[in-house]
Amino acid sequence: MRKNVIMGNWKMHFTVEETDKFLNKLIPKVKDAKTEVVVCVPFTSLALASNTLSGSNIKLGAQNVHFEEQGAFTGEISPNMLKSVGVSHVLIGHSERRIYFGESDETVNKKIHTCLKHGFVPVLCVGESLKEKEDGDMENILTNQIKNAFLNISSEDASKVVIAYEPIWAIGTGKTATSIDADNTISFIRKVVSSIYNKEISENMIMLYGGSVKPNTIKEQMSMENIDGALVGGASIVVEDFERIVNF
């Protein structure tokens, strides 16, 4: 039985003060949530958020990690730095990182290895662009992203990974994939995972949909067979919206 997970990705929003204010409003509103709740806050807010969230049912996520343990990597954040502030989940390969910051399938794979070594839940983001979708390349793109991401990951470790299917054309655009399309695509992703590992791992893997998820879309999305939760961007920085999504 797969659990449901709702994750917020705050992207580059909220100072430390704003983080504290937001979380103090959110905590009581989602305290009886039936799903796992995770917020991926900016690096500068992690330490504060870790304190504010302590004793709550909200888990702490980071939006990235460097694959090396330490060293001359100006501007990067190491796995031990994340561990020291109580991070449990790490977004890996978000399309904004792939598009604007040169994240490649190779670095995604390295980061997944690093996360698993350090006991973080890697949340692997995959998805096709509008052009790739229109050219009929979606399945190829997703297959490559997934096969490369799981390179040399054992089946035991693979079962700890969460996959977020996020069509790029739906992120921040207000255009959400229909629930049926999202479900079909995630079903396809399960087939790819099954071809790398086996049916059991693929059927037990938690898979989320992301892309303009809103309070009025979540219920139908969560009713689909293959969708176990949502990765929420814009609506996760509005307390009332995120609360309604969590308590769908």
Q: Which residues bind ligand PEP (CB under 6 A)?
A: 9, 11, 166, 171-172, 210-213, 231-235
Torsion sign over Cα 46, 39, 209, 114? positive
Active-site pick, 36, 103, 128, 166: 166
* Nearer Cβ to ligand PEP (71/174): 174
- Is 166 considered catalytic here? yes
In the chain, what's the furthest Cα-to-Cα distance? 48
- CB of 101: closest distance to ligand PEP in angstroms? 14
- CB of 200: closest distance to ligand PEP in angstroms? 28
Active-site pick, 94, 96, 103, 132: 94
* Nearer Cβ to ligand PEP (175/191): 175
Rounded Cα distance between 98 and 31, Å, is 34
- CB of 68: closest distance to ligand PEP in angstroms? 25
Rounded Cα distance between 220 and 223, Å, is 5
Tokens 């969230």 identify what position?
Answer: 53
* Nearer Cβ to ligand PEP (207/231): 231
Rounded Cα distance between 220 and 230, Å, is 12
- Is 66 considered catalytic here? no
Secondary structure of residue 223 in the 3-state scheme:
coil
Rounded Cα distance between 37 and 51, Å, is 16
* Nearer Cβ to ligand PEP (166/228): 166
Catalogue the active-site residues: 94, 166
